[in-house]
Structure 1
Amino acid sequence: MSARILSPGQTMSLLDPSEQLRPEQVYEGKLANQFRDYSVDPNDPIKERVRRTYHNMHTNQTVEFVRSRMADWLQFNKLKMTIKDALIKLNDLVDESDPDSDLPNIVHAFQTAERIREEHPDEDWFHITGLIHDLGKVMAFYGEPQWAVVGDTFPVGCAWGDSIVYRETSFDDNPDGKDNRYNTKYGIYKPGCGLDNVVMSWGHDEYLYRFLVHNKCKLPDKALAMIRFHSFYPWHAGGDYMHLCNNKDFDMLKWVLEFNKYDLYTKSTRVPDIEKLWPYYQKLIDKYIPGVLEW
């Protein structure tokens, strides 16, 4: 059954019985509930890789850590390269937090973009958003461990949401959980403050969003919201942190959810013909994010 997100003050008195009876959707030959399987199996090397990545993330992503990474990365003085250069780098990156794919991340980029293009043929801004949404993962080539680059994101500075994966034990060694400034429902925030005013765990979403703003990209606000929050599963899938949201966030949520189905459900072993697709996407790069950029 699909989740229904409620704004503050809204209530739901009954469930839609048609949703309960509807057959579960199948994507790329898999049932929807077979994606994002975070069950623990010490004998499964991929599941163990994923679990370790999240354990390290949840132990080390503190307010102090995030602020240190922002101070470092948001100077945008690491290197200069084009969007195509960054995409090619992703050919050498396998996301250690992803239980659904063991292919290089560039394959996922084109899988996502092509499915969006198929279903939204007239929205070229959406196509390029699908292609570049994970480019922030280039941080992994410049000294950042993957637990500070990939995986689901969450706010720091307040209590951790119940729907965060491995939530029961993975935060046990995070010092913010014992800090009275950070371990309450609102922590350092105010009710309805808006996600623009929330400090997110450090990763590729926030970095790429800030990178695009810094380099004056021409993508619409809804594309930037998709990029900034596509890994914020505890919010858009789990329904957590609604108490921090404002009206802008609720308006953008529908776009994040629309993007999410292409990000998640296009993962498969089928590899697009990337060389054949380059000319089309290079035109979009030149339109929306041209030239040599500051990273």
Structure 2
Amino acid sequence: MRILAENQIDLLDPSELLRPEPTFADKNPSKFRDYTVDAADPLKERVRQTYRQMHLNQTVDFVMGRRNRWLKFNTMKMTVREALEKLNDLVDESDPDLDLPNIVHAFQAAERARLEFPEHDWLHLTALIHDLGKVMAFYDEPQWAVVGDTFAVGCRWGDSIVYREDSFVGNPDGNNPKYNTDYGIYQPNCGIDNLLMSWGHDEYMYNVLKHNNTKLPDVACNIIRFHSFYPWHNGGDYKHFEAPEDAETKKWVLIFNRYDLYTKSETVPDIESLWPYYQSLIDKYLPGVLEF
């Protein structure tokens, strides 16, 4: 697989995008994203409970309230490096694959993108900062409103959402005829970017980038916005909302997810030695103090 230019990629079988080479992963690919229920396993139970709270509480009203709270960008000011270093103290409670600070995962993903596509420095930085919106967890936002897979609210929940069978029980939108049909509040083929997404780090960081006038290309911002929307780009749900331009977004997200998912391991990169290179990218695409 090769990227020919920023807006052109060789046509690929989507299954190839999700199939890592042996060098991508330290374990069998089938062992990633294991959401089986096992009450005796503390990690599995932590993950399940995080999604249970997410699926119970993420409603249209909740999402609108969080957007009103966070998209004023008046919570904190910090550089990209300062925000990344805060992630030293965050372990993602929704992640069944890694129990290490999030900054480790950020550098793992960035280094894999850099190795495969050394000429596309914007992709390296995108991988480094893709989870930066998780800083919300340090400012009184519960992890179920920060981490994990995202989904559209205001319409019927996708069938492939993890724990879908029973985790939405009690969510009032499921009984609201405005929100519980296939189209809900939307129109056919309205475009994925016009969906109201469950609140979390993806949507927040996308808006942080736009608010701070990033020089990253739009495709990078879209990768960050939809990288956790697994029910769409991996599960096949929500296709009835797709517009023609969404094919390009999905293609890039699938490429990126090779770095996001399959690089997770206990191998910790030498972060200090990598800072000079990544600081140069920060200075190029997202410099200075940002408003979060």
Q: Which TM class, normalised by the smaller chain length?
A: over 0.9
> Over residues 163-185 of structure 1, what are the superposed CA-to-partner deviations in whole Å (9 max), with x where a residue is unaligned?
00000000011000000000000
Q: Match of 1:4?
A: none
Q: Distance in 2 between matches of 1:26 and 1:234?
A: 26
Calculate the aligned-residue CA RMSD, in Å.
1.7
Q: Match of 2:183?
A: 186
Q: Match of 1:197?
A: 194
Q: Match of 2:78?
A: 81
Instruction: Please say if 1:256 is aligned against 2:253.
Output: yes
Contact persistence 1:25–1:32 (CA under 8 A): no
Instruction: Please say if 1:172 is aligned against 2:169.
Output: yes
Contact persistence 2:20–2:262 (CA under 8 A): no
Q: Distance in 1 between matches of 2:194 and 2:217?
A: 20
> Over residues 142-183 of structure 1, what are the superposed CA-to-partner deviations in whole Å (9 max), with x where a residue is unaligned?
010000000000000000000000000000110000000000
How far residue 29 of structure 1 moved from its aligned partner, in angstroms, is 2.7
TM-score of the superposed pair, with normalisation by structure 1? 0.91
> Over residues 18-61 of structure 1, what are the superposed CA-to-partner deviations in whole Å (9 max), with x where a residue is unaligned?
99xx9996743311111000000000000000000000000000
Cα 1:160–1:121 change in 2 (3 A) is same
Instruction: Please say if 1:242 is aligned against 2:242.
Output: no
The one of 161, 173, 176 equivalent to 2:158 is 161
Q: Distance in 2 between matches of 1:179 and 1:150?
A: 26
Q: Match of 1:7?
A: none
How far residue 93 of structure 1 moved from its aligned partner, in angstroms, is 0.1
Q: Match of 1:44?
A: 41
The one of 71, 96, 99 equivalent to 2:96 is 99
Q: Distance in 2 between matches of 1:23 and 1:227?
A: 20
Q: Match of 1:137?
A: 134
Cα 1:103–1:202 change in 2 (3 A) is same
The one of 262, 267, 273 equivalent to 1:265 is 262
Unaligned runs of 5+ in 2: 1-12
Q: Match of 1:55?
A: 52
How far residue 252 of structure 1 moved from its aligned partner, in angstroms, is 1.2
Q: Distance in 1 between matches of 2:108 and 2:145?
A: 24
> Over residues 189-213 of structure 1, what are the superposed CA-to-partner deviations in whole Å (9 max), with x where a residue is unaligned?
0000011211000000000000000
> Over residues 233-291 of structure 1, what are the superposed CA-to-partner deviations in whole Å (9 max), with x where a residue is unaligned?
00010010010110111121100000011000000000000000000000000000000
> Over residues 208-243 of structure 1, what are the superposed CA-to-partner deviations in whole Å (9 max), with x where a residue is unaligned?
000000000001111111100000000010010010
> Over residues 67-123 of structure 1, what are the superposed CA-to-partner deviations in whole Å (9 max), with x where a residue is unaligned?
000001000001111000000000000000000000000000000000100000010
Q: Distance in 1 between matches of 2:145 and 2:59?
A: 11
Q: Match of 1:6?
A: none
More moved, 24-33 vs 263-272: 24-33
Unaligned runs of 5+ in 1: 1-15
Cα 1:203–1:23 change in 2 (3 A) is closer
Q: Match of 1:208?
A: 205
- Once the two structures are aligned, what percentage of the paired residues are identical? 69
Q: Distance in 1 between matches of 2:287 and 2:22?
A: 38
Q: Distance in 1 between matches of 2:21 and 2:285?
A: 37
SS at match of 2:197: coil
Q: Match of 2:119?
A: 122
TM-score of the superposed pair, with normalisation by structure 2? 0.92
Q: Distance in 1 between matches of 2:290 and 2:264?
A: 29
Instruction: Say how many residue pairs are matched.
Output: 277
The one of 97, 106, 111 equivalent to 2:108 is 111
Q: Distance in 2 between matches of 1:130 and 1:108?
A: 9
